[in-house]
């Protein structure tokens, strides 16, 4: 491939952007330029809310206005009270009072998050899954935040099932997952969390390959136990091995082409990774996009996730979509009653695929996870965000039946990294 074609392909892949958020930024820009956010931003958000509802109820073969404007959008699993979310966010941070700094990408992301949390006043929350690194704990570190652990305990006490859905794949070696979650388990023991609440906490390792459930051991301590026998997310061994062979070849080629001296390639049962000695984001993104392209060309029936882990690149058999859908089948919970919280929702991230299986919150660090959990707990306990209930989005959606949880066969046949909504 020539230099010019490489540069052109890189420019065509907007791997560090989200088209829906950029679309909303564009709608808000005229109001900001005219110093009219206070008067007109609510109308702009109400218009986006209307577009989302139109999109959710569009007729096959007749693209909605939003689909035409943002072709990469996927599924909105619930209605989104965007105008109410904007009013709440603006009351907190006085965005409409600013004259020199327009609403940012991150602020729009947070407003979308808040709208999704408010939506659970209409579709009760029954299941929450969390990414690990940069969501529950710092990248490569272990869980050590007592306040965050307390929030998770409150979710369990309220009857919500909670799962860590992580790329970390230690097979069924429970002690290795327990080490990563040591601070959380310590708080559970200190609070004497009842066994029935503990059993509502799961770990799904390797994106979707290994299921463990929390329980108490003979000494009364919180401990993880294998639930392999009850987990129906499986893949054909030979096809999975062929996929990983192709991924390994691509990663080795990337290391050679980019001169990553001393880079290690690690092969596991369900994953293969590239660990450079001195990682650079652009090189990691390049390796991810190359391996995604190579694996799509293989046309494998096995879903995969290729992602930039911040200091490395990994390709996993399966994705978090299959992980979340596995929980939906196991627990009998519909997508609109589920939520996934993570930090990697760009196409080079491993939370991206979960968007097609349930509503999602896009956060950036564990501190933000605590902030969104405070709002989630306010909704779960019935007080509502800002101490008041959110009005319904649209009466037209009241009688619509949402799609049922996907079958295991459909889950296994799904391809990686679909287009996605917020």
DSSP E strands in 83-175: the ranges are 127-130, 161-165
132 to each of 152, 318, 420, how far by Cα in Å?
A: 13, 17, 21
Buried (b) or exposed (e) across 210-247, using 16+ Cβ within 10 A?
bbbbbebeeeeebbbeebeeebebebeeeebeebbebb
Tell me whether residue 293 is one of the annotated catalytic residues: no
The DSSP annotation for 370-403 comes to HHHHHHHHHHHTTS-GGGSPPPPS-GGGTTPPPP
Residue 153's contacts (CB-CB under 8 Å, 6 or more residues apart) are 187, 188, 191, 193, 197
Residue 380's contacts (CB-CB under 8 Å, 6 or more residues apart) are 120, 125, 155, 158, 160
Residue 26's contacts (CB-CB under 8 Å, 6 or more residues apart) are none
Inter-residue contact 320 to 165 (CB < 8 Å) = yes
Residue 277's contacts (CB-CB under 8 Å, 6 or more residues apart) are 260, 261, 262, 263
Structure tokens at 176: 């290795």
Distance of alpha carbon 43 from the chain centroid? 29
Catalytic residue from among 18, 35, 90, 133: 133
253 to each of 162, 274, 282, how far by Cα in Å?
A: 39, 11, 16
The burial class, CB within 10 Å (0-12 / 13-18 / 19+), for 43 is exposed
Give the largest CA-CA distance in the chain: 67
Inter-residue contact 131 to 166 (CB < 8 Å) = yes
DSSP 3-state assignment of 300?
coil
Inter-residue contact 351 to 88 (CB < 8 Å) = no
Q: How many helices (H) and strands (E) does the chain have?
A: 15, 11
Catalytic residue from among 131, 145, 316, 351: 131
Residue 310, phi-psi category: left (phi > 0), alpha (psi -120 to 50), beta (remainder)? left
Structure tokens at 340: 């996934």
Tell me whether residue 131 is one of the annotated catalytic residues: yes
Q: Which residues are catalytic?
A: 131, 133
């Amino acid at each position: 491939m020539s230099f010019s074609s490489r540069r052109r392909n890189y420019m065509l892949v907007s791997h560090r952007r989200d088209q829906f958020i950029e679309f909303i930024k564009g709608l808000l820009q005229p109001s900001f330029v005219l110093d009219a956010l206070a008067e007109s931003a609510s109308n702009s958000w109400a218009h986006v809310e209307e577009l989302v509802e139109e999109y959710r109820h569009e007729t096959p073969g007749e693209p909605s206005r939003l689909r035409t404007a943002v072709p990469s959008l996927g599924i909105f699993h619930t209605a989104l009270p965007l105008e109410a979310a904007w009013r709440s966010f603006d009351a907190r941070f006085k965005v409409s009072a600013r004259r020199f700094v327009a609403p940012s990408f991150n602020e729009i992301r947070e407003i979308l998050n808040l709208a999704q949390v408010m939506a659970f006043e209409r579709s009760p929350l029954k299941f929450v899954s969390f990414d690990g690194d940069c969501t529950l704990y710092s990248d490569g570190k272990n869980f050590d935040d007592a306040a965050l652990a307390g929030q998770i305990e409150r979710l369990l006490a309220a009857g919500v099932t909670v799962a860590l859905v992580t790329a970390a794949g230690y097979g069924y070696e429970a002690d290795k997952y327990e080490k990563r979650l040591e601070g959380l388990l310590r708080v559970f023991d200190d609070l004497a969390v009842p066994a029935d609440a503990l059993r509502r906490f799961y770990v799904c390792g390797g994106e979707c390959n290994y299921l463990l459930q929390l329980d108490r051991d003979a000494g009364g301590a919180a401990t993880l136990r294998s639930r392999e026998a009850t987990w129906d997310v499986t893949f054909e061994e030979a096809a999975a091995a062929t996929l990983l062979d192709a991924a390994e070849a691509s990663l080795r080629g990337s290391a050679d082409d980019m001169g990553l001296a001393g880079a290690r390639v690690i092969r596991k049962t369900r994953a293969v990774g590239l660990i450079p000695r001195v990682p650079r984001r652009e090189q990691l993104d390049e390796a991810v996009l190359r391996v995604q392209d190579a694996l799509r060309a293989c046309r494998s029936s096995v879903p995969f996730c290729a992602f930039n882990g911040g200091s490395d690149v990994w390709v996993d058999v399966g994705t978090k979509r299959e992980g979340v859908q596995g929980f939906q089948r196991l627990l009998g919970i519909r997508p609109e009653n589920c939520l996934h919280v993570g930090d990697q929702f760009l196409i080079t991230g491993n939370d991206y695929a979960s968007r097609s299986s349930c509503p999602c919150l896009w956060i950036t660090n564990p501190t933000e996870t605590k902030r969104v959990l405070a709002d989630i707990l306010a909704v779960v306990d019935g007080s509502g965000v800002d101490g008041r209930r959110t009005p319904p989005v649209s009466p037209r959606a009241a009688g619509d039946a949402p799609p049922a949880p996907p079958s295991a066969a459909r889950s296994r046949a799904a391809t990686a990294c679909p287009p996605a909504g917020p």
